[in-house]
Amino acid sequence: MEISAVGVTATDLARAVSSYSLLGFSFPPVDDGEEHVESTNAGARLMIDSAELITGLLGEPPRPGNTSALAVLLPAPGQVDGLVNRVAAAGHTVVTAAFDAPWGQRYATVADPDGHRVDLYALLPG
């Protein structure tokens, strides 16, 4: 078994795509009125659905969780810091600033424009 995709919802699909693109995800162009888009990166896909689509499917508006998160592995610890700085400079939320975690990772958490958490990490040397 493997996780093949992770989905999040967005009140503004283009804004969410822009946010996740900062983190290294690639997407096809988003047309006006689009309700679903998927990343084109290798590996597990990131799917972003409009809040309206999900409300229609589930019968209630989506609510981002406060403890579940996507996790993005970066090649080097310094890249965690660089990415956190770019996210902050773009006006997005840094939930947890980058730090050396006791479990051997350079680790940080950011949030997309709708509040979905994204953990950023890289293995520390040694």
Write the pLDDT tens digit of every residue in 11-44. Answer: 999 999 999 999 999 999 999 889 999 999 988 8
pLDDT bracket for residue 3 (50, 70, 90): confident
- Residues 94-126 have pLDDT tens digits of 999 999 999 999 999 999 999 999 999 999 998
Instruction: With both helix axes pointing from N to C terminus, report the angle between 77-89 and 13-22 in degrees, rounded to the nearest 10.
Output: 150
pTM, two decimal places: 0.89
Q: What is the 3-state secondary structure (H, E, C) of the chain?
A: CCCCEEEEEECCHHHHHHHHHHCCCCCCCCCCCCCEEECCCCCCEEEEEEHHHHHHHHCCCCCCCCCCEEEEECCCHHHHHHHHHHHHHCCCEEEEEEEEECCCEEEEEEECCCCCEEEEEEECCC
Q: CA 9 from chain center: how many Å?
A: 11
Q: What is the pLDDT of residue 66?
A: 66
Q: Residue 64 above 90 pLDDT?
A: no
**pLDDT in the model for residue 123:** 97
CA distance 89 to 61: 30
- Determine how β-strand 45-50 pairs with β-strand 36-38: antiparallel
